[in-house]
Amino acid sequence: MKEHLSIKKFSEFSGIETSTLRYWDGIGLFSPTMRDAENNYRYYSPAQLVSVNFIKVLSDLHISLKNINGIDRVRTPESLLNLIESHENQLDAELTKLHACYSILHTRRNLIKRGMNADPAQITVERLPEEQLVLGPPTHFVKNEGLYEPLVQFFQEAKKLRINLKYPIGGLHHSLENFLHAPGEPEHFFSLDPLGNETRKAGEYMVGYARGYYGQFGDLPDRMAAFAREKGLACHGPLYAIFLQDEICVEDPVQYLSQVFVAVKAL
Amino acid sequence: MKEHLSIKKFSEFSGIETSTLRYWDGIGLFSPTMRDAENNYRYYSPAQLVSVNFIKVLSDLHISLKNINGIDRVRTPESLLNLIESHENQLDAELTKLHACYSILHTRRNLIKRGMNADPAQITVERLPEEQLVLGPPTHFVKNEGLYEPLVQFFQEAKKLRINLKYPIGGLHHSLENFLHAPGEPEHFFSLDPLGNETRKAGEYMVGYARGYYGQFGDLPDRMAAFAREKGLACHGPLYAIFLQDEICVEDPVQYLSQVFVAVKAL
DNA sequence: TTGCTCCTCACGTCACGTGAGGTGGC
DNA sequence: TTGCTCCTCACGTCACGTGAGGTGGC
C-alpha cells in the first residue's frame, strides 16, 4: 500500500474527481491496481496517471467511454493507432467547429458594440475596415409575399452551398437607387462569415441606422439620399444592410436595429 | 401558417433535431412563434433561424441551457454583451484545451509509430529532429525505494509548475555514464510538451530500445556503451529515455517499450 | 382506407454529482 | 471519543433519444 496513492491523492494529481474515478471503476473503464482486502479502499499506482490522463484526453474530445473502453480492452499499439487515426477527422471537425463558434461570437459581439456606440438618428461618413462575407444567390421577390419566400430560398441555397448560417445575415442592394426603390427587397442575402470568398473593401462609407423589423427601414432611404445630395456625395458599389440588434438581443421587433452603408466619394 | 415552417422543415434548415427543438420548447428556452389551435402543431418563422443558430453556438461552447435561458429572458444588447464577454475566458480555455488534446494525441501517435517501426534488438545512429520538452526539478532517489517517491514528487512539482502531465513522460540522465551507473534513476523527469521551454537539439543520436517495466532497461546500458566503443562514438549532452509503448497500449508491463538516445560524434 | 406528419407522455441513456448511512485507523 | 477518509447504494440531473399510442388532413 505504501507504494500506492489513495483515491483523494490520485484525484488531486490527475485533476479527476473522485466520483468520476469511482464511476470509471464501476463501468470497468479504469480501475485501481489494488484494493484493500479489509475495507475495500481503492489504491492507485503513480504510473496509472499515464493511463488516466490519456483517457481524460479522449473523453475531452467527446469520444464516448464505451468507445474508449472497447479499445482499451484490446490494448495493442495497432489498435490504439487505429483509434487515434479513425477519430482524427472527428477531432478535426470538433476543433474547426469550436473555432467557428468562437468567431461567430466575436462577429456578433462586434456588431452589438457597433450598435451600442451608434446614434441611430445620425447619418455619417466613416472609414469602414475591410470585411469578408459569403454572398447568396440572387433573390426572387414575389409581389405582396414579404420576406418569407426569398429568405427560405436563401436558406435552402445556403444549405446546398454550405454557407454557414450561424453568422449574422444581411441584405445587399446593387445600388442606393435600388434600395430607395424597394428597401425591403435586397438583390442578395449574405452571411458575415469571416472565411467568406467575397470582400467588402475598406474605404469611406455613408452610414445610416434604422429601427424596425426585418425589411422595414422607415424613412432611412430618403434621408440617406437627401444626405448624399446635400453633401455632394457620389455613391458607388453595392449597398449593405445588416442587423446589429435583432431578436437575439431585443425583445420588441419594432426596436430591431439595422445598419445601412454604401461606399461614397466626394463629387 | 403559410409564412411558417413545420418542425421538420425548421429542423432541416437549422440542423437541429426535432427532439431537441421539442425539448428546448419544453424548458422554455426556445419556442415556435405559432401553434396550430386545432392540433397543437409547432410553426416556426424563418427569422427564428437567427435565434436558434445562436443558441446552438452557445450550447456548442458548453454554456448550459439554464445559463443561455437566463440571459435570453432579459434580452438587451448589454446583457448579451455581458454573456459573451463573461464567457470569453471559458471559451478561450475550451479552445486551448482542445488544441492541447489534439497535440497530445498527435505526440502519442508519433511515439507509437516510432515504436512500431523500430527493431528493438538493434542499436543505431540516426539523425533525430528537434523536439520540445518541459524539464522537471532534479529527482531524489532513496535507496531501495524504487520509482515511487521520485515520481510522486515529480507529479507534485509538476502541479505547482503547471507542467502538463498528459503528454508522454520520460527520464533524463546527465550522461551515458550516469545511465550506466543507475539506469532506473534519471536525474530529471520531463514531459514531451511541444510548448515546452527546453529544446532537444536536432542532430546525430545513438538510439537503443528496451522492453520492460518503468525503470527496467535490462542489458541496454551495457550494449549502448559497447556499441559506442566499437564504433568510436563520443557521447555528449544528456541521455533521454522515453516510453513508446506503455500501459496505454500494452497489456503486459514486461513488454513496455522504451527508447533511449544520446547525442554522438564520431571520434 | 392508407400514408404522412405531427402530437404528448413516459421511460431510457450517458456521464456523472450528491447525499445517506456506515466503516476503520489515529 | 472525535475527526477524517474511505466505502456502497440509491437517487438526482442535464440534455436529450426513443418508442408507444393517438390525431388530422390529403
Backbone angles phi, psi at B100, to 5 degrees: -60, -45
Cell of B265: 560524434
Backbone angles phi, psi at A77, to 5 degrees: -55, -40
- The residue type found at A237 is G
Tell me the mean pLDDT in the region B144-162: 85
Per-residue model confidence as pLDDT tens digits over B200-229: 999 999 999 999 999 899 999 999 999 999
In whole angstroms, give the CA distance from residue A133 to residue A238: 13
Structure confidence at residue B156 (pLDDT): 87
Tell me the mean pLDDT in the region B119-137: 94
Structure confidence at residue B163 (pLDDT): 86
Q: How far is A21 from chain B (nearest CA, A)?
A: 17
Maximal CA-CA distance, chain B: 93
Instruction: Examine the pLDDT at B73 and tell me if it is beyond 70.
Output: no
Structure confidence at residue B185 (pLDDT): 95
Structure confidence at residue B99 (pLDDT): 86
Tell me the mean pLDDT in the region B13-34: 95
Chain B residues within an 8 Å CB radius of A214: 47
Tell me the mean pLDDT in the region B122-127: 96
Q: Which nucleotide is nearest to A64 (CA to C1')?
A: C14
Higher pLDDT, A224 or B165: A224
Per-residue model confidence as pLDDT tens digits over B171-192: 999 999 999 999 999 999 999 9
Residue listed under C-alpha cell 533525430: B128
User: How many angstroms from the chain centroid is the CA of residue A139?
Assistant: 24
- Low-confidence spans in chain A with pLDDT less than 70: 1-2, 71-74
Distances from the Cα of A126 to the Cα of A207, A265, B15, B115, angstroms:
7, 11, 38, 61
Per-residue model confidence as pLDDT tens digits over B79-97: 888 888 877 777 788 888 8
**In chain B, whose CA is at the least distance from the CA of A115?**
B77
User: How many angstroms from the chain centroid is the CA of residue A57?
Assistant: 24
**In chain A, whose CA is at the least distance from the CA of B146?**
A3
Tell me the mean pLDDT in the region B255-260: 95
Structure confidence at residue B32 (pLDDT): 95
Whether residue B247 and residue A50 make contact (CB cut-off 8 A), yes or no, is: yes
Cell of A255: 426596436
Structure confidence at residue A232 (pLDDT): 95
Cell of A63: 469520444
Instruction: Examine the pLDDT at B1 and tell me if it is beyond 80.
Output: no
Cell of B43: 410553426
Residue in B166, B169, B155 with CA at minimum distance from that of residue B256:
B169
Confidence of residue B35 (pLDDT cuts 50, 70, 90): very high
B22 touches strand C (CB under 7 A): yes
Number of C-beta neighbours around residue A90 at 10 A: 12
Tell me the mean pLDDT in the region B238-267: 93
Maximal CA-CA distance, chain A: 93
In whole angstroms, give the CA distance from residue B186 to residue A213: 70
Tell me the mean pLDDT in the region B40-49: 93
Residue in A181, A49, A93, A188 with CA at minimum distance from that of residue B248:
A49
- Which regions of B57-130 does DSSP assign to beta strands (E)? 124-128
A9 touches strand D (CB under 7 A): yes
Confidence of residue B142 (pLDDT cuts 50, 70, 90): confident
In whole angstroms, give the CA distance from residue B262 to residue B61: 44
Structure confidence at residue B29 (pLDDT): 94
Instruction: Examine the pLDDT at B71 and tell me if it is beyond 70.
Output: no
Cell of A187: 438583390
A65 touches strand C (CB under 7 A): yes
Q: Which nucleotides of C are covered by protein (CB under 7 A)?
A: 5-8, 14-18, 23-25
Distances from the Cα of A66 to the Cα of A11, A49, A73, B25, angstroms:
22, 20, 10, 31
- Which regions of A111-202 does DSSP assign to beta strands (E)? 124-128, 131-138, 169-173, 188-191, 198-200
State the average pLDDT for chain B: 91
A20 touches strand D (CB under 7 A): no
**In chain A, whose CA is at the least distance from the CA of B149?**
A3
Instruction: Examine the pLDDT at B146 and tell me if it is beyond 80.
Output: no
Taking one residue from A and the other from B, the number of pairs with CB-CB distance under 8 angstroms is: 165
